[in-house]
């Protein structure tokens, strides 16, 4: 008899039928004797509709009112899920997140400060399932805030952490976290467990199963997350502390990100302050630089290469050119047809030679590595975009990530 | 420099463009130096969509959660209107009605208990236009309630009454209150003023310009209402205390209601308690009886005739037959093709002969009067439905309600 937080994403509550399906899951958990706090996203497409409306009435939407408008999607779905539960005879009530989740005043991207667990516990003590609208909270002064796109996960993890819940189940439209994108690597296999750090590297690299901020929060508070499909009963993937990951695979996943563009500023002076001179104006323009590589200098000059999201390339280039001019650089070139492929794994920490094995495998296929970036549990390479699928499959095989045999896949 | 409450109905905020149009009106009132409290309905069609969703997830929707869901439409439109105002440089903020409107716990049809005027005044003192979601409030225990369909008007009047506003402007999709339905009586003329009582008789009779409860509330607190179109600048109709209606027309309007069906129970005993025996079970079935006529008795027996909404006839008949059997009545007949036509006017109080004039005019056209019902300022007749248009036009002419000449209409 524990306390379970269950979170249903936008597709999982996208239609009345799916809301009733979600209610059946909640009811089953309740029948098993658990206390249940449910966190819901807005019905799929609803938040986009509200954002569109806000932008249509105001060129520069006021942030307070904008949050007020876009937060209503979750109010609807939380009420509907409570209705569906009550209709099945399950005691339930929706509760305004603004009454229990206190945030700072950074509208549209607010951070959770505190969760009023007393209020939640009082409601649970009455025997009801509590349905909480995700993605939102309220400031000290009573203004509704939203926590950023995808922050329904964050709400769920924050509640689970504050309530010291036994588990946080995230229901979504995939069955778990895979060793790679099954659309690209047919032999990709669902992982039974991954560590928070592996998940962070995977989600920030585009696995897009869990919002990154929510994984960071789960890691900080040790909240065990069960990512699973709302459309099937199979076990999903547990995202857990490193200590709980028994089988520490050298590499547990291969991920990719096509949304990259590469910029090189040639022959900049190799003196202190040059990196700052280049990246400060780019950062000020709100462009997120991903991989940065600076080679050793020749004649006091060096080449600076970095990647940015492809959609920001057009904005980034004039800035890079202006900086290049000021620094007396040799010129600026760019390539919008690159992609990043990464291998992630806790076991990498102790095993030497993973990088060498990775580079050898790519080389054997004639794939040229343009940039390399490494962290403790991740190695990323930037390659020509046309090799993405090939690189993923080769690396998946190289590190033996595939199912033993097709048809005998672990679930 | 006064305080104006402005209410925009669903069609007046039905699209982003219309919301911006409403914002322009509010801005103009603000520029004239007035404090403004705006009450908004949900965007046209939105409340119906939410009701449909609630009914799809639950066969018997829980009333608390149902109110929670259907109240969100006004949250969206209030936020959008505040956004549009701020975008025009007008200081504005939406405020949750649940923070200022306290109601009883009669969900879906709650009654307003109190309005927190201090909170409203504090916000107004900061120089902002306040945008309040109509149609809703909150119980003492913190549950969201709704006030019944069309209750956006009620919210506006309640706020105007509590704040002692100088006027309550109701923006809608018609230009005011007319002497009759212009679709039926082409010479119908917009009234500059009507009294609360006239308006009550007209709106309950199907003029459908203002919600009846809101007119009753306005009458009780003396709130002057200006009904006008949000799509034109012309003056609308002022709904005011009787003392302010200078020109007390004998008849100020001719209205009709096609939605009537007639039921007669023949030869029931003319003894005390019979009316109660007939109408109690009908009322318990939730059927609203409109006109009742009981003729003088012969041989201790009388005929009881009444009208009900046409859609309720099928439910009403078996009840009437059952009651008739118990009372030993002579039989039950019904007619679903009747309609009610009424003339309304304050001047009727002092002028004898209005009824005679009305009956004479109808008779001259060969229209048979099946039932008659009178109040202090209204005379209604039930006639065959096919005569509705003819009767309205004849009465409109009889009481000289038309414009002096086409093309020279008063505005």
Using CA atoms in the order B359, B363, B369, B373, what is the torsion angle rounded to 10 degrees? -10
Any CB–CB contact under 8 A between B86 and chain A? yes
In SS3 terms, B171-199 reads as EECCCCCECCCCCCCCCCCECCEEEHHHH
pLDDT band at B50 (very low <50, low <70, confident <90, very high): very high
pLDDT score recorded for residue B350: 76
Strand, helix or coil for residue B91: coil
* CA B166 – CA A259 distance, rounded (Å): 59
Any CB–CB contact under 8 A between B82 and chain A? yes
Of A23, A61, A69, the CB nearest to B76: A69
Percent of chain B beyond pLDDT 90?
A: 76
pLDDT score recorded for residue A407: 39
Residues of A in contact with B78 (CB under 8 A): 68
Helix (H) or strand (E) holding A196: helix A196-202
Q: What is the pLDDT of residues B322-350, one digit of tens each?
A: 999 999 999 999 999 999 999 999 888 87
Instruction: Report residue B66 CA to chain centroid gap.
Output: 24
Task: Identify the burial level of A216 via C-beta atoms within 10 angstroms of its C-beta, where 0-12 means exposed, 13-18 middle and 19 or more buried.
Answer: middle
| Interface mutation vs chain B, best among A81, A83, A88, A132, most B CBs within 10 Å | A83
User: Nearest CA to B168 among B153, B181, B146, B183?
Assistant: B153
CATH number, domain B254-398? 3.30.2130.10
Task: Examine the pLDDT at A60 and tell me if it is beyond 80.
Answer: yes
The nearest CA of chain B is from the CA of A59 a distance in Å of 7
* Whether A84 contacts B58, CB under 8 Å: yes
User: Nearest CA to A344 among A363, A358, A362?
Assistant: A358
Any CB–CB contact under 8 A between B129 and chain A? no
Inspect the interface and report whether the beta carbons of B69 and A76 lie closer than 8 Å: yes
User: Closest chain A residue to B24 measured between Cα atoms?
Assistant: A57
* CA A27 – CA A11 distance, rounded (Å): 19
pLDDT score recorded for residue A406: 42
pLDDT score recorded for residue B207: 58
Q: What is the torsional sign of CA B202, B208, B212, B214?
A: negative
- CA-atom Rg of chain A in angstroms: 24
Task: Examine the pLDDT at B108 and tell me if it is beyond 80.
Answer: yes
Phi, psi of A190 (to 5 degrees): -75, 135
Strand, helix or coil for residue B365: coil
**pLDDT, mean over chain B:** 91
First to last CA, chain A: 26
Task: Examine the pLDDT at A322 and tell me if it is beyond 60.
Answer: yes
* CA B67 – CA B45 distance, rounded (Å): 17
Beta carbons within 10 angstroms of residue B126's beta carbon: 9
Q: What order do you get walking across the sheet with A225-229 strand by strand?
A: A92-94, A129-133, A35-40, A3-8, A167-172, A225-229, A237-240, A193-195
The nearest CA of chain B is from the CA of A168 a distance in Å of 25
pLDDT band at A370 (very low <50, low <70, confident <90, very high): very high
Inspect the interface and report whether the beta carbons of B83 and A72 lie closer than 8 Å: no
* CA B41 – CA B43 distance, rounded (Å): 6
User: Closest chain B residue to A51 measured between Cα atoms?
Assistant: B80
Residues of B in contact with A56 (CB under 8 A): 16
Task: Examine the pLDDT at A246 and tell me if it is beyond 90.
Answer: no
Residues of B in contact with A82 (CB under 8 A): 62, 65, 68
Any CB–CB contact under 8 A between A140 and chain B? no
Which of A 8-27 lie inside 8 A of B, CB atoms? 16, 19-20, 23
Task: Examine the pLDDT at A319 and tell me if it is beyond 50.
Answer: yes
pLDDT band at A405 (very low <50, low <70, confident <90, very high): very low
Inspect the interface and report whether the beta carbons of A82 and B62 lie closer than 8 Å: yes
Inspect the interface and report whether the beta carbons of A83 and B75 lie closer than 8 Å: no
Task: Identify the burial level of A55 via C-beta atoms within 10 angstroms of its C-beta, where 0-12 means exposed, 13-18 middle and 19 or more buried.
Answer: middle
Helix (H) or strand (E) holding B260: strand B253-269
Task: Examine the pLDDT at B209 and tell me if it is beyond 90.
Answer: no
| Residues listed for chain A | 411
Task: Identify the burial level of B205 via C-beta atoms within 10 angstroms of its C-beta, where 0-12 means exposed, 13-18 middle and 19 or more buried.
Answer: buried
User: Nearest CA to B256 among B188, B180, B196?
Assistant: B180
pLDDT band at A204 (very low <50, low <70, confident <90, very high): low
User: Nearest CA to B82 among A133, A67, A47?
Assistant: A67
Task: Examine the pLDDT at B407 and tell me if it is beyond 80.
Answer: no
Range from B117-126, B200-209, B244-253 carrying the lowest mean pLDDT: B200-209
Range from B167-181, B237-251, B334-348 carrying the lowest mean pLDDT: B237-251
Name the H helices within B129-233: 152-162, 196-202, 212-221
Contacts of B302 (CB under 8 A, 6+ apart): B267, B268, B270, B294, B295, B296
Beta carbons within 10 angstroms of residue A404's beta carbon: 11
Average pLDDT value for residue range B128-146? 95
* CA A282 – CA A276 distance, rounded (Å): 10
Q: Which residue has the higher pLDDT, A351 or A256?
A: A256
User: Closest chain B residue to A65 measured between Cα atoms?
Assistant: B79
| Residues listed for chain B | 411
pLDDT score recorded for residue B411: 38
Q: What is the pLDDT of residues A259-270, one digit of tens each?
A: 899 999 999 988
The domain spans of chain A are: 3-173, 254-398
Task: Examine the pLDDT at A253 and tell me if it is beyond 50.
Answer: yes
Chain A to chain B, count of Cβ pairs less than 8 Å apart? 111
User: Nearest CA to A251 among A396, A411, A410, A409?
Assistant: A396
Instruction: For residue B234, give Cα distances in angstroms to A399, B8, B174.
Output: 77, 16, 11
* CA A311 – CA A261 distance, rounded (Å): 8
Which DSSP string do the residues of A324-368 spell out, in sequence order? HHHHT-SEEEEEEEEEEEEEE-GGGGT-TTHHHHHHHHHHHTTPP
- The pair of structure tokens assigned to A45 is 């497409």
pLDDT score recorded for residue A150: 83
pLDDT band at B314 (very low <50, low <70, confident <90, very high): very high
User: Nearest CA to A211 among A199, A223, A194?
Assistant: A199
Instruction: For residue B92, give Cα distances in angstroms to A67, B23, B89, B131, B410.
Output: 15, 10, 9, 7, 36
In SS3 terms, B56-82 reads as HHCCCCCHHHHHHHHCHHHHHHHHHHH
* Whether A322 contacts A280, CB under 8 Å: no
Match 């009759």 to its residue by tokens. Answer: B180
Task: Examine the pLDDT at B208 and tell me if it is beyond 80.
Answer: no
Task: Examine the pLDDT at B410 and tell me if it is beyond 70.
Answer: no
pLDDT score recorded for residue B367: 94
Residues of B in contact with A72 (CB under 8 A): 72, 75-76, 79
Helix (H) or strand (E) holding A396: helix A388-398
Beta carbons within 10 angstroms of residue B51's beta carbon: 16
Task: Examine the pLDDT at A8 and tell me if it is beyond 60.
Answer: yes
Going by their DSSP bridges, the two strands A292-294 and A331-344 should be labelled as unpaired
- The pair of structure tokens assigned to B207 is 């003029």
* Whether A234 contacts A409, CB under 8 Å: no
pLDDT score recorded for residue A331: 92
Q: What is the pLDDT of residues B367-388, one digit of tens each?
A: 999 999 888 899 999 999 999 9
- The pair of structure tokens assigned to B56 is 């799809």
* CA B370 – CA B381 distance, rounded (Å): 7
A3-173: which CATH topology? Carbamate kinase (3.40.1160)
pLDDT band at B351 (very low <50, low <70, confident <90, very high): confident
Average pLDDT value for residue range A278-298? 88
- The pair of structure tokens assigned to B347 is 């001047």
* Whether B374 contacts B327, CB under 8 Å: no
Task: Examine the pLDDT at A169 and tell me if it is beyond 50.
Answer: yes
Instruction: For residue A5, give Cα distances in angstroms to A44, A230, A296, B363.
Output: 21, 14, 51, 74
């Amino acid at each position: 008899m524990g306390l379970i937080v269950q979170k249903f994403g936008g597709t999982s509550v996208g239609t009345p039928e799916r809301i009733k399906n979600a209610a059946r899951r909640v009811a089953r958990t309740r029948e098993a004797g658990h206390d249940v706090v449910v966190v819901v996203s807005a019905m799929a497409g609803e938040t986009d509709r509200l954002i569109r409306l806000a932008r249509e009435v105001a060129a520069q939407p006021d942030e307070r009112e904008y949050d007020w408008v876009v937060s209503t999607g979750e109010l609807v779905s939380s009420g509907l899920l409570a209705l569906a539960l009550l209709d099945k005879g399950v005691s339930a009530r929706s509760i305004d997140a603004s009454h229990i989740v206190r945030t700072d005043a950074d509208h549209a991207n607010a951070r959770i400060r505190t969760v009023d667990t007393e209020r939640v516990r009082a409601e649970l003590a009455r025997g009801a399932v509590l349905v909480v609208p995700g993605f939102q909270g309220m400031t000290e002064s009573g203004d509704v805030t939203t926590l950023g796109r995808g922050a329904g996960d964050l709400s769920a993890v924050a509640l689970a952490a504050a309530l010291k819940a036994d588990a946080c189940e995230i229901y979504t439209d995939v069955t778990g976290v895979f060793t790679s994108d099954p659309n690209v690597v047919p032999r990709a296999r669902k992982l039974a467990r991954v560590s928070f750090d592996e998940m962070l590297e995977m989600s920030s690299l585009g696995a897009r199963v869990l919002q990154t901020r929510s994984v960071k929060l789960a890691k900080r508070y040790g909240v065990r997350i069960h990512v699973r499909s709302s459309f099937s009963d199979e076990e999903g993937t547990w995202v857990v502390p490193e200590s709980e990951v028994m089988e520490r695979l050298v590499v547990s996943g291969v991920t990719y990100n096509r949304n990259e563009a590469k910029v090189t500023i040639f022959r900049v002076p190799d003196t202190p302050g040059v990196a700052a001179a280049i990246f400060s104006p780019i950062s000020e323009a709100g462009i997120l630089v991903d991989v940065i590589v600076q080679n050793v200098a020749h004649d006091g000059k060096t080449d600076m290469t970095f990647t940015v999201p492809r959609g920001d390339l057009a904005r980034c280039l004039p800035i890079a050119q202006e900086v290049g001019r000021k620094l007396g650089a040799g010129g600026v070139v760019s390539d919008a047809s690159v992609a990043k492929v990464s291998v992630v794994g806790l076991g990498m920490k102790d095993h030497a030679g993973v990088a060498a094995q990775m580079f050898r495998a790519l080389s054997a296929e004639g794939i040229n590595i343009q940039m390399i970036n490494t962290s403790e549990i991740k190695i990323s390479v930037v390659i020509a975009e046309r090799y993405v699928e090939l690189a993923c499959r080769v690396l998946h095989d190289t590190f033996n990530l595939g199912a033993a045999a097709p048809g005998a896949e672990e679930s």
